[in-house]
């Protein structure tokens, strides 16, 4: 119930204006976001790299409303890739296609993805396309395919809450794609997404097994110890080594678990978001864990 309400609010402009204008609002994103500027993000990446973590960097922003904004997002990411390279940081980028104009014109988003992949090839870098809500599933997968990028330059995300995902994973594996598997963070109707957590979890483990068996290098984006256990059990039984896949977790979430996996010799990549447009990302993080709402209330009224 609370999850549905928070996800509903995450897509609304009026609560966004209200929440971001309250006295304690500036402190809110610190829990989940590296800061508002690229410099803040670079500082966080340096620290995480020094601790042994890999990083994927997300410049917050989604659903641009005109082509100029999409172009600016693309150029921003090109500069970010250059900067990561020149600083010698172990970090790649994660992008949302609606920030590159997907909702305006699919070919525009494709053109920007190709520009990012070209630069990634020159810099020996990697671009991950995040997966957004179901209105964009089909077009996101299409843009990924049409980009015709080498496997080592472009990857995609699959959400285990979607009923269609088993089919999508089969298609993507046949194509040789690198996948990040997650449970899914958006508000979806029961016709297309499993409403029960137990089904989402069971599907996650099934899809993870298929992905591991492909021997393509994939990522498992979760903080759920049972999902991680499912991945590790299958990997051990199939003699798949720790360098053949990676775990990914969100900045500021389950930090103890992040360190544990690293200490056990697994590769862990932290998803680091930064930027001013933190509201929708922040609300999705609240929706994932009701206890986070207490954190929101405590901070909001501290002035």
Ligand X SMILES: Cc1cc2nc3c(=O)[nH]c(=O)nc-3n(C[C@H](O)[C@H](O)[C@H](O)COP(=O)(O)OP(=O)(O)OC[C@H]3O[C@@H](n4cnc5c(N)ncnc54)[C@H](O)[C@@H]3O)c2cc1C
For position 184 contacting ligand X by CB under 6 A, the verdict is: yes
The answer to whether the beta carbons of residues 120 and 147 sit under 8 Å apart is no
Binding piece for ligand X, criterion CB under 6 A, among 13-21, 188-196, 238-246, 249-257: 249-257
> Which member of 58, 119, 128, 130 is catalytic?
130
- Smallest distance, ligand X to C-beta of residue 259, A: 15
For position 272 contacting ligand X by CB under 6 A, the verdict is: no
Binding piece for ligand X, criterion CB under 6 A, among 6-14, 35-43, 142-150, 183-191: 183-191
- Smallest distance, ligand X to C-beta of residue 187, A: 11
For position 97 contacting ligand X by CB under 6 A, the verdict is: no
Return the structure tokens found at 155: 């990857």
Nearer to ligand X among residue 239 and residue 256 (C-beta) = 256
Among 85, 292, 293, 300, binds ligand X (CB under 6 A): 292
Which residues have C-beta within 8 Å of that of residue 288, sequence separation ≥ 6? 3, 185
Report d(CA 97, CA 156) in Å as an integer: 11
Does the annotation count 130 as an active-site position?
yes
Nearer to ligand X among residue 226 and residue 263 (C-beta) = 226
For position 82 contacting ligand X by CB under 6 A, the verdict is: no
- Smallest distance, ligand X to C-beta of residue 243, A: 19
C-alpha angle 40-42-43 in degrees, rounded to nearest 5: 65
Residue with tokens 């500021």: 252
Alpha carbon of 62 to those of 55, 97, 101, 254: distances in Å? 20, 8, 9, 25
For position 177 contacting ligand X by CB under 6 A, the verdict is: no
Does the annotation count 199 as an active-site position?
no
What is the number of alpha carbons within 13 Å of residue 182 lying toward its C-beta?
Answer: 17
- Smallest distance, ligand X to C-beta of residue 239, A: 26
The answer to whether the beta carbons of residues 42 and 88 sit under 8 Å apart is no
For position 183 contacting ligand X by CB under 6 A, the verdict is: yes
- Smallest distance, ligand X to C-beta of residue 122, A: 25
For residues 45-82, one letter each, b for 16 or more C-beta atoms within 10 angstroms of the residue's C-beta and e for the rest, the string is beebbeeebbbbbbbbbbbbeeeebbbebbeebbebbe
List residues near ligand X by CB under 6 A: 130-131, 157, 159, 182-186, 221-224, 227, 248-250, 253-254, 271, 285, 288-289, 292
Residues serving a catalytic function are 130, 180
């Amino acid at each position: 119930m609370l999850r549905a309400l928070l996800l509903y609010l995450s897509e609304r402009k009026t609560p966004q204006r209200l929440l971001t204008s309250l006295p304690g609002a500036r402190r809110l994103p610190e829990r989940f976001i590296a800061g508002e500027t690229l410099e803040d993000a670079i500082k966080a990446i340096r620290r995480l790299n020094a601790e042994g973590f890999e990083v994927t960097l997300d410049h917050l922003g989604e659903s641009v409303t005109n082509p100029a904004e999409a172009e600016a997002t693309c150029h921003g990411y090109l500069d970010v890739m250059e900067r990561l390279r020149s600083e010698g940081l172990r970090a790649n980028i994660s992008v949302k296609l609606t920030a590159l104009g997907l909702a305006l014109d699919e070919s525009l988003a494709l053109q920007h993805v190709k520009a990012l992949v070209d630069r990634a090839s020159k810099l020996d870098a990697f671009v991950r396309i995040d997966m957004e809500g179901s209105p964009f599933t089909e077009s996101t997968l299409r843009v990924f395919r049409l980009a015709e990028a080498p496997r080592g330059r472009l990857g995609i995300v699959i959400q285990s809450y979607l009923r269609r995902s088993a089919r999508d994973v089969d298609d993507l594996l046949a194509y040789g794609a690198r996948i990040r598997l997650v449970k899914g963070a958006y508000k979806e109707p029961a016709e297309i997404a499993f409403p029960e957590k137990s089904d989402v979890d069971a599907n996650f483990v099934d899809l993870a097994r298929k992905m591991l068996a492909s021997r393509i290098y994939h990522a498992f984006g979760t903080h759920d110890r049972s999902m991680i256990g499912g991945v590790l059990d299958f990997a051990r039984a199939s003699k798949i080594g720790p360098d053949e896949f990676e775990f990914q977790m969100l900045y500021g979430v389950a930090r103890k678990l992040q360190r544990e996996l690293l200490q056990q010799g697994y590769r862990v990549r932290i998803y680091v978001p930064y930027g001013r447009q933190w509201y929708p990302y922040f609300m999705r993080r609240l929706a994932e864990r009701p206890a986070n709402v207490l954190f929101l209330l405590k901070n909001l009224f501290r002035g």
